[in-house]
Amino acid sequence: MYSFKNDYSEGAHPRILNALVESNFVQEDGYGEDQFTQKAIELLKEKIGTDVDIHLLSGGTQTNLTALSAFLRPHEAAIAAGTGHILTHETGAIEATGHKVISVEAENGKLKPEYLQAVIEEHTDEHMVKPKLVYISNSTEIGSIYKKSELTALRDFCNEHNLILFMDGARLGSALCSEENDLKLSDLPELVDAFYIGGTKNGALIGEALVICRDSLKEDFRFHLKQKGALLAKGRLLGIQFLELFRDNLFFDLALNANKMAKMLRDELGKANFTFLTHSPSNQIFPILPNKLIAELQGKYSFHIWQKVDPENSAIRLVTSWATKEEHVTAFIEDMKKLVL
């Protein structure tokens, strides 16, 4: 049984494991004050190319709830697409910190200024929560990516309405390495107020690097980390991993592999005349298959049945990872073709 369920089924890239073992008996300060974390932060700042604050956290949900609760005042709310992770897959973590998430129906999982305008017009006074933060994901929860022009339009709208623009980057590596992408990592500080670089889904054991770009959001953030249980005593575990991922091109090489394997699946499913639920040029694809074929494939492969399309067909989600090998993809394609014939 081979899994296409997610991009964190495997452990970590061997280089990361080796780096953890080799540094195991080196004594270091805790809570991110160790040499590895400090070097990783400086390295990331070089890659990003501007004056930002960087904090390493263990996971995406923890990063989202810590950042958003720190950035928002008690009466302020976040806006997210109906497919947004903070809305659908974080067990109300943001709401648990006292902040409403306003849901917006969005084409292909991406927010646009016109969607935000409608929210602003609906929330007019102190009897409602105040929309303050715009939450987006890149790549999105349904595999789409934001182009530079789309982010620029959101940036301009947020500037006009004094909104914070926050990017969930759990799969940022896949987005930046997509064949359709026109963004660079160094573009992001000019376009968003804060974002994070996802390690968990791109070769690390655990770890996300939160990048705070807007000065007004930086103050006292380590207090928020500690209060939310995000300031790890053995912060070195995160620092070592990001230092290894970014000391050369490993982070992007791993994302490229995930995208390449997804493209192989996408191309072959297209050749077999199957359509897709969404346009997803990243490492998640959503082919629409007959229910009978899905049941047969589940005998050898695990994946999520994403959405029922009609009585005979459903969309499934196939996710490739940094560790997916071409042989796994080829086997899936060959089995699919045998069952279709």
Which residue, 246, 277, 308, sits at the end of a domain?
246
Using one digit for the tens of pLDDT, what is the confidence trace for 92-144? 999 999 999 999 999 999 999 999 999 999 999 999 999 999 999 999 999 99
Q: What is the pLDDT of residues 15-63, one digit of tens each?
A: 999 999 999 999 999 999 999 999 999 999 999 988 899 999 999 999 9
Tell me the two tokens of residue 70: 């720190």
Which CATH number goes with the domain that contains 127?
3.40.640.10
Same domain, 236 and 159: yes
CATH number at residue 302: 3.90.1150.10
Same domain (yes/no): 21, 101? yes
Rg (CA), the chain: 20
Q: How many residues does the chain have?
A: 341
Q: Are residues 94 and 21 in the same domain?
A: yes
Look up tokens 């980057």; give the residue: 169
Q: Which of these three, 246, 275, 306, is where a domain ends? A: 246
The span from the CA of 37 to the CA of 60, in Å, is 18
SS3 content of the chain, % helix, strand, coil (to 5): 45, 20, 40
DSSP state letter for 287: B
Same domain, 185 and 302: no
State how many domains the chain has.
2
pLDDT score, position 151: 98
pTM: 0.97
Are residue 315 and residue 212 in the same domain, yes or no? no
pLDDT given for residue 184 in this prediction: 97
pLDDT at residue number 38: 98
Taking the chain (341 residues) in runs of 10, the rounded mean pLDDT of each run is 96 98 97 98 94 97 98 98 96 97 96 98 96 98 98 98 98 98 98 98 98 98 97 98 98 98 97 96 98 97 97 98 98 94 70
> What pLDDT was estimated at residue 340?
87
Residue 311 belongs to domain spanning:
2-6+250-340
What is the per-residue pLDDT for 50? 83
User: Within a 10 A sphere around the Cβ of 323, how many other Cβ atoms?
Assistant: 18
pLDDT value at residue 158: 98
* Domain co-membership, 157 together with 19: yes
